[in-house]
Protein backbone atom coordinates (compact mmCIF):
# COMPACT_ATOMS: atom_id res chain seq x y z
CA UNK A 1 0.00 0.00 0.00
CA UNK A 2 1.49 3.33 -1.11
CA UNK A 3 0.49 5.94 1.46
CA UNK A 4 1.25 9.63 1.07
CA UNK A 5 -0.40 12.38 3.07
CA UNK A 6 -0.98 13.79 6.52
CA UNK A 7 -2.59 11.79 9.30
CA UNK A 8 -4.29 13.76 12.06
CA UNK A 9 -3.58 11.67 15.15
CA UNK A 10 -5.20 11.99 18.55
CA UNK A 11 -2.05 11.14 20.49
CA UNK A 12 -2.78 9.04 23.58
CA UNK A 13 -1.29 9.68 26.98
CA UNK A 14 1.56 7.52 28.15
CA UNK A 15 3.37 7.63 24.80
CA UNK A 16 5.96 10.01 23.43
CA UNK A 17 5.51 11.49 19.97
CA UNK A 18 8.37 9.25 18.81
CA UNK A 19 6.59 6.20 20.24
CA UNK A 20 3.59 7.09 18.07
CA UNK A 21 5.78 7.42 14.98
CA UNK A 22 7.33 3.99 15.59
CA UNK A 23 3.92 2.38 16.07
CA UNK A 24 2.56 4.02 12.93
CA UNK A 25 5.54 2.83 10.90
CA UNK A 26 4.53 -0.72 11.77
CA UNK A 27 0.81 -0.14 11.30
CA UNK A 28 1.21 1.65 7.94
CA UNK A 29 4.05 -0.49 6.66
CA UNK A 30 6.40 2.38 5.84
CA UNK A 31 9.46 3.96 7.41
CA UNK A 32 8.61 7.39 5.99
CA UNK A 33 6.65 8.72 8.96
CA UNK A 34 7.40 11.91 10.88
CA UNK A 35 5.59 14.02 13.47
CA UNK A 36 5.24 17.80 13.30
CA UNK A 37 5.86 18.78 16.92
CA UNK A 38 6.52 17.02 20.19
CA UNK A 39 3.75 16.42 22.72
CA UNK A 40 4.80 15.36 26.22
CA UNK A 41 3.89 11.78 27.25
CA UNK A 42 1.30 13.07 29.76
CA UNK A 43 -0.44 15.18 27.11
CA UNK A 44 -2.97 13.91 24.58
CA UNK A 45 -4.53 15.53 21.55
CA UNK A 46 -3.73 16.82 18.08
CA UNK A 47 -0.49 15.55 16.55
CA UNK A 48 -0.24 15.88 12.74
CA UNK A 49 1.79 13.02 11.27
CA UNK A 50 3.35 13.16 7.81
CA UNK A 51 3.46 9.91 5.82
CA UNK A 52 5.36 8.98 2.65
CA UNK A 53 6.18 11.87 0.32
CA UNK A 54 4.32 14.20 2.70
CA UNK A 55 7.28 14.02 5.10
CA UNK A 56 8.55 16.94 3.00
CA UNK A 57 5.90 19.01 4.77
CA UNK A 58 7.02 18.41 8.37
CA UNK A 59 8.78 21.76 8.82
CA UNK A 60 5.78 23.64 7.38
CA UNK A 61 3.10 22.04 9.54
CA UNK A 62 4.64 23.04 12.87
CA UNK A 63 1.84 25.51 13.48
CA UNK A 64 2.46 29.06 14.64
CA UNK A 65 -0.57 28.86 16.96
CA UNK A 66 -1.82 26.02 19.12
CA UNK A 67 -4.82 25.66 21.42
CA UNK A 68 -5.10 23.63 24.61
CA UNK A 69 -7.55 22.72 27.35
CA UNK A 70 -5.58 22.56 30.58
CA UNK A 71 -6.06 22.26 34.31
CA UNK A 72 -4.06 24.00 36.99
CA UNK A 73 -3.75 22.79 40.57
CA UNK A 74 -2.79 25.52 43.00
CA UNK A 75 -1.29 24.60 46.35
CA UNK A 76 1.91 22.77 45.44
CA UNK A 77 4.55 22.79 42.73
CA UNK A 78 6.49 19.90 41.19
CA UNK A 79 9.92 19.30 39.67
CA UNK A 80 8.44 18.94 36.17
CA UNK A 81 5.74 21.62 36.53
CA UNK A 82 3.13 18.92 35.82
CA UNK A 83 1.48 16.05 37.69
CA UNK A 84 4.24 13.53 36.88
CA UNK A 85 6.91 15.31 38.92
CA UNK A 86 7.90 15.12 42.55
CA UNK A 87 6.44 17.66 44.93
CA UNK A 88 8.72 20.62 45.56
CA UNK A 89 6.78 23.19 47.56
CA UNK A 90 3.37 22.95 49.24
CA UNK A 91 1.39 25.84 50.66
CA UNK A 92 -2.12 25.49 52.03
CA UNK A 93 -4.57 27.68 50.09
CA UNK A 94 -6.46 29.28 52.96
CA UNK A 95 -8.54 31.68 50.90
CA UNK A 96 -11.35 31.37 48.41
CA UNK A 97 -10.74 32.52 44.86
CA UNK A 98 -13.74 33.94 43.08
CA UNK A 99 -14.35 33.74 39.36
CA UNK A 100 -13.49 37.43 39.14
CA UNK A 101 -10.16 36.83 40.93
CA UNK A 102 -9.14 34.11 38.50
CA UNK A 103 -10.36 35.91 35.38
CA UNK A 104 -8.42 39.04 36.36
CA UNK A 105 -5.21 36.98 36.55
CA UNK A 106 -5.88 35.25 33.24
CA UNK A 107 -6.55 38.59 31.54
CA UNK A 108 -3.32 40.01 32.95
CA UNK A 109 -1.35 37.24 31.23
CA UNK A 110 -2.51 38.02 27.70
CA UNK A 111 0.12 39.26 25.27
CA UNK A 112 3.81 38.62 24.78
CA UNK A 113 6.14 37.82 27.66
CA UNK A 114 9.41 36.04 28.36
CA UNK A 115 9.18 32.37 29.31
CA UNK A 116 11.89 30.23 30.86
CA UNK A 117 11.33 26.62 29.76
CA UNK A 118 10.95 23.88 32.41
CA UNK A 119 14.07 21.87 33.21
CA UNK A 120 12.12 18.78 32.18
CA UNK A 121 11.69 19.82 28.55
CA UNK A 122 13.26 19.01 25.18
CA UNK A 123 14.79 22.47 24.74
CA UNK A 124 18.48 22.07 23.92
CA UNK A 125 21.41 23.83 25.58
CA UNK A 126 24.85 23.14 24.11
CA UNK A 127 23.40 20.28 22.08
CA UNK A 128 21.90 18.54 25.10
CA UNK A 129 18.23 18.49 26.10
CA UNK A 130 17.27 20.15 29.36
CA UNK A 131 15.62 17.02 30.73
CA UNK A 132 18.94 15.19 30.26
CA UNK A 133 20.64 17.74 32.51
CA UNK A 134 17.77 17.45 35.00
CA UNK A 135 17.93 13.65 35.16
CA UNK A 136 21.69 13.82 35.70
CA UNK A 137 21.22 16.33 38.51
CA UNK A 138 23.17 18.97 36.61
CA UNK A 139 22.29 22.64 36.67
CA UNK A 140 22.39 24.73 33.52
CA UNK A 141 21.21 28.21 32.61
CA UNK A 142 17.94 27.92 30.73
CA UNK A 143 17.42 30.10 27.64
CA UNK A 144 14.73 32.75 27.74
CA UNK A 145 12.34 33.12 24.85
CA UNK A 146 9.30 35.09 23.88
CA UNK A 147 5.87 33.50 24.00
CA UNK A 148 2.52 35.05 23.20
CA UNK A 149 -0.83 34.20 24.76
CA UNK A 150 -3.63 35.24 22.41
CA UNK A 151 -6.55 33.86 24.42
CA UNK A 152 -6.80 32.58 27.99
CA UNK A 153 -10.14 31.87 29.61
CA UNK A 154 -11.56 30.09 32.63
CA UNK A 155 -13.61 26.97 31.95
CA UNK A 156 -16.10 25.55 34.44
CA UNK A 157 -16.03 25.76 38.20
CA UNK A 158 -13.24 26.62 40.62
CA UNK A 159 -12.83 23.72 43.03
CA UNK A 160 -11.49 24.16 46.57
CA UNK A 161 -10.60 20.84 48.22
CA UNK A 162 -7.95 19.52 50.64
CA UNK A 163 -6.11 22.83 50.76
CA UNK A 164 -5.76 23.04 46.98
CA UNK A 165 -7.61 24.86 44.22
CA UNK A 166 -8.15 23.47 40.73
CA UNK A 167 -9.82 24.80 37.61
CA UNK A 168 -9.70 24.23 33.88
CA UNK A 169 -8.69 26.83 31.32
CA UNK A 170 -8.49 27.19 27.55
CA UNK A 171 -5.40 28.80 26.07
CA UNK A 172 -4.41 29.70 22.52
CA UNK A 173 -0.77 30.60 22.22
CA UNK A 174 2.19 30.98 19.92
CA UNK A 175 4.50 28.28 18.67
CA UNK A 176 6.82 27.01 21.41
CA UNK A 177 4.74 28.16 24.37
CA UNK A 178 4.98 26.00 27.50
CA UNK A 179 1.55 25.50 29.03
CA UNK A 180 3.16 24.05 32.15
CA UNK A 181 4.81 27.41 32.67
CA UNK A 182 1.48 29.15 32.05
CA UNK A 183 -0.06 27.08 34.85
CA UNK A 184 2.81 27.86 37.22
CA UNK A 185 2.50 31.57 36.43
CA UNK A 186 -1.24 31.51 37.17
CA UNK A 187 -0.43 30.14 40.62
CA UNK A 188 2.32 32.69 41.21
CA UNK A 189 -0.01 35.57 40.38
CA UNK A 190 -2.56 34.19 42.81
CA UNK A 191 0.18 33.93 45.44
CA UNK A 192 0.74 30.16 45.61
CA UNK A 193 2.87 27.36 44.15
CA UNK A 194 1.09 25.51 41.34
CA UNK A 195 1.48 22.97 38.56
CA UNK A 196 -0.33 21.83 35.45
CA UNK A 197 -2.42 18.81 36.40
CA UNK A 198 -4.00 18.00 33.03
CA UNK A 199 -3.55 19.01 29.37
CA UNK A 200 -5.06 18.24 25.97
CA UNK A 201 -4.06 19.89 22.70
CA UNK A 202 -7.32 20.62 20.89
CA UNK A 203 -5.92 22.44 17.86
CA UNK A 204 -2.64 22.82 15.99
CA UNK A 205 -3.04 25.55 13.43
CA UNK A 206 -6.06 24.62 11.33
CA UNK A 207 -6.05 20.99 12.49
CA UNK A 208 -8.73 20.24 15.09
CA UNK A 209 -9.14 17.44 17.64
CA UNK A 210 -12.54 16.44 16.26
CA UNK A 211 -10.87 15.57 12.94
CA UNK A 212 -8.26 13.27 14.51
CA UNK A 213 -8.18 9.47 14.67
CA UNK A 214 -6.75 7.15 17.31
CA UNK A 215 -3.96 4.62 16.93
CA UNK A 216 -6.60 1.89 17.27
CA UNK A 217 -8.55 3.33 14.34
CA UNK A 218 -5.38 3.40 12.24
CA UNK A 219 -4.69 -0.25 13.01
CA UNK A 220 -8.26 -1.08 11.98
CA UNK A 221 -7.86 0.82 8.72
CA UNK A 222 -10.44 3.40 9.78
CA UNK A 223 -8.63 6.54 8.66
CA UNK A 224 -8.00 8.87 5.73
CA UNK A 225 -4.93 10.91 4.93
CA UNK A 226 -5.07 14.56 4.02
CA UNK A 227 -3.51 15.22 0.64
CA UNK A 228 -0.63 17.68 0.32
CA UNK A 229 -3.08 20.20 -1.14
CA UNK A 230 -5.48 19.77 1.80
CA UNK A 231 -2.68 19.94 4.37
CA UNK A 232 -1.37 23.19 2.85
CA UNK A 233 -4.78 24.77 2.23
CA UNK A 234 -4.12 27.47 4.83
CA UNK A 235 -1.11 28.76 2.88
CA UNK A 236 -1.52 31.47 0.22
CA UNK A 237 -1.22 29.95 -3.26
CA UNK A 238 -0.65 30.83 -6.90
CA UNK A 239 -1.15 28.85 -10.12
CA UNK A 240 1.61 29.03 -12.76
CA UNK A 241 1.77 28.20 -16.47
CA UNK A 242 3.72 25.23 -17.86
CA UNK A 243 6.80 27.35 -18.67
CA UNK A 244 7.15 28.57 -15.09
CA UNK A 245 6.41 25.04 -13.89
CA UNK A 246 9.57 23.84 -15.64
CA UNK A 247 11.59 26.49 -13.81
CA UNK A 248 10.05 25.54 -10.47
CA UNK A 249 10.85 21.85 -10.98
CA UNK A 250 14.49 22.88 -11.41
CA UNK A 251 14.48 25.00 -8.26
CA UNK A 252 14.97 28.23 -10.19
CA UNK A 253 14.37 31.62 -8.60
CA UNK A 254 11.38 33.38 -10.13
CA UNK A 255 11.16 36.99 -11.26
CA UNK A 256 8.22 39.13 -10.09
CA UNK A 257 6.52 39.07 -13.49
CA UNK A 258 6.54 35.25 -13.46
CA UNK A 259 4.22 35.04 -10.45
CA UNK A 260 0.69 36.32 -11.01
CA UNK A 261 -0.89 37.59 -8.86
CA UNK A 262 2.16 39.02 -7.01
CA UNK A 263 2.96 37.39 -3.64
CA UNK A 264 5.27 39.99 -2.10
CA UNK A 265 3.96 39.93 1.43
CA UNK A 266 6.03 38.19 4.09
CA UNK A 267 5.55 34.47 4.52
CA UNK A 268 5.44 31.31 2.46
CA UNK A 269 3.15 30.44 -0.42
CA UNK A 270 2.48 27.33 -2.49
CA UNK A 271 2.83 27.16 -6.26
CA UNK A 272 0.49 24.89 -8.26
CA UNK A 273 0.54 23.92 -11.92
CA UNK A 274 -2.42 24.13 -14.29
CA UNK A 275 -3.47 20.66 -13.21
CA UNK A 276 -3.71 21.78 -9.54
CA UNK A 277 -0.67 19.73 -8.55
CA UNK A 278 1.41 21.32 -5.76
CA UNK A 279 4.88 22.07 -7.08
CA UNK A 280 6.90 23.89 -4.42
CA UNK A 281 6.82 26.26 -1.51
CA UNK A 282 8.28 29.67 -2.34
CA UNK A 283 9.09 32.86 -0.45
CA UNK A 284 9.68 36.46 -1.56
CA UNK A 285 13.24 37.74 -1.09
CA UNK A 286 12.83 41.50 -0.78
CA UNK A 287 16.58 42.19 -0.90
CA UNK A 288 17.13 40.42 -4.22
CA UNK A 289 13.57 41.00 -5.45
CA UNK A 290 13.03 37.40 -6.52
CA UNK A 291 10.97 34.45 -5.35
CA UNK A 292 13.11 31.72 -3.77
CA UNK A 293 12.20 28.03 -3.67
CA UNK A 294 12.09 26.74 -0.09
CA UNK A 295 10.97 23.14 -0.76
CA UNK A 296 9.96 21.13 -3.81
CA UNK A 297 6.79 19.06 -3.33
CA UNK A 298 6.72 16.74 -6.36
Residues known to be catalytic: 40
Handedness of CA 294, 8, 110, 78 (dihedral sign): negative
The β-bridge partners of 70 are 169, 199
Question: Which long-range contacts does 251-254 make (Cβ < 8 Å, 24+ apart)?
Answer: 251/280, 251/293, 251/296, 252/293, 253/285, 253/288, 253/290, 253/291, 253/292, 253/293, 254/282, 254/290, 254/291
Beta strands 268-272 and 237-239: pairing type?
A: parallel
By the 8 A CB rule, do 233 and 227 touch? no
Amino acid sequence: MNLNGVLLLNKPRGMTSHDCVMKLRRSLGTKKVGHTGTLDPDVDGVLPICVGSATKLVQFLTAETKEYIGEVTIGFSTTTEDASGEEVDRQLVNETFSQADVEAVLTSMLGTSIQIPPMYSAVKVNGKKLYEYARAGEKVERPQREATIYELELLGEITHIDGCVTFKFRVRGSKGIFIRTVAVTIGERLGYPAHMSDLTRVASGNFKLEDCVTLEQVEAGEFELLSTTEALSHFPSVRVDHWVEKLIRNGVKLRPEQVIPPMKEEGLFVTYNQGSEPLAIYQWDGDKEVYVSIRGLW
